[in-house]
Amino acid sequence: MSAHALDRDLAALAASARAALVREIDASGAWAADPVWRQAFEAVPRHLFVPYYYVGVVGGYERRWGESPDPRARQEWVRGAYADAPLATRLRDGELVSSSSQPSLMAMMLAELRIRDGDRVLEIGAGTGYNAALLAHRLGDDRVTTVDLEPEITEAARRHLAAAGYHPVVVTGDGARGVPERAPFDRVIATCTLASVPTAWLGQCRPGARILSPLATGLIALTVRDAGHAEGRFLHTPVYFVPLRGADRHDEGSVEWGGVPRRARQDDLFRFLLALSRGSLQPREAYALWEREGRPSRERYGITVGADRQWAWLDDPEGPHTWPLR
């Protein structure tokens, strides 16, 4: 088979796999809040954003890439690129530092961002550039800014975006500081886990802006009142992202579990409370609260960000159950 014919077959396979992925996301209800996102996922070719990725195998990772000399390996790469699964895209000393998120989760987050035509969006964590391409398809290049700390990540994202025909603004810098020269923003979306909400974002947002970010294995949706205040609740969905680079990491091996039953230690909702109240509640205290309050789901928790402090809370930001965020 000629190289041209092989490329033609791969393009057909990619189109078929992308259509199947869209049907799968559609069936999951991920973009029910804003079905317009279906058009973006139909149009943006994910395989161009993951020219290689890693899959877990016994003893480590195996690399799949689109330039493999083996035609079957290239077909496997294309199919994997359109699986509804996260893809590890960068490793450092065996540790994951960047990935392409699960498409159905991306679809849900974009729908929950509640974008309106004409909005200006800041994305924290450029990754492969795929999410920025989806945003650019919906809003146009000039209304999308994406930032990442690592030059090699932003350089690769620019290449991927250009190959797919998109040219949003890609900035190399500390996402915690935002991108003031591109402000003001109507929406901010983070694709990395935070320990607290950078207050710099609030000052770069218009009043009424929406911030959506992973935090403590949950997804917080904040409404910005002004540069000194934002508040909101967690969505019901559990999420697990690579931490914002430079942020502290929680070593679960150091947790003292005394007095906490094994079933609670393994319960996702209890572990969410434990992560959210870290540094304020010991596991035994958190367990007592969790049981007393009826094992609350994520939607009962929220965060308030003020000019000089920010805190998490259960049910009421001024209620009895609040914890300072670092």
Distance between CA atoms of residues 246 and 1, nearest Å: 49
Predicted pLDDT of residue 168: 98
Those residues with Cβ within 8 angstroms of residue 178's Cβ, 6 or more apart along the chain or in another chain:
122, 147, 188, 198, 200, 201, 203, 204
**Residue 26: its H or E element:** helix 3-28
Residues serving a catalytic function are 98
Q: What is the pLDDT of residue 254?
A: 53
Domains of the chain: 3-234 (3.40.50.150), 254-324 (no CATH)
- pLDDT by 10-residue block (mean), the chain, 326 residues: 60 96 96 95 97 82 90 94 93 77 96 97 96 98 96 96 98 97 98 92 98 95 97 94 60 65 92 91 93 97 95 97 90
Q: With the C-alpha atoms ordered 82, 137, 30, 101, is the resulting torsion angle positive or negative?
A: positive
**How far apart (Å, rounded) are the C-alpha atoms in residues 208 and 220?**
15
Q: What is the pLDDT of residue 37?
A: 97
Amino acid type, 172: T
User: What pLDDT score was predicted for residue 92?
Assistant: 79
Residue for token pair 């596991």:
283
Q: What is the pTM of this model?
A: 0.92
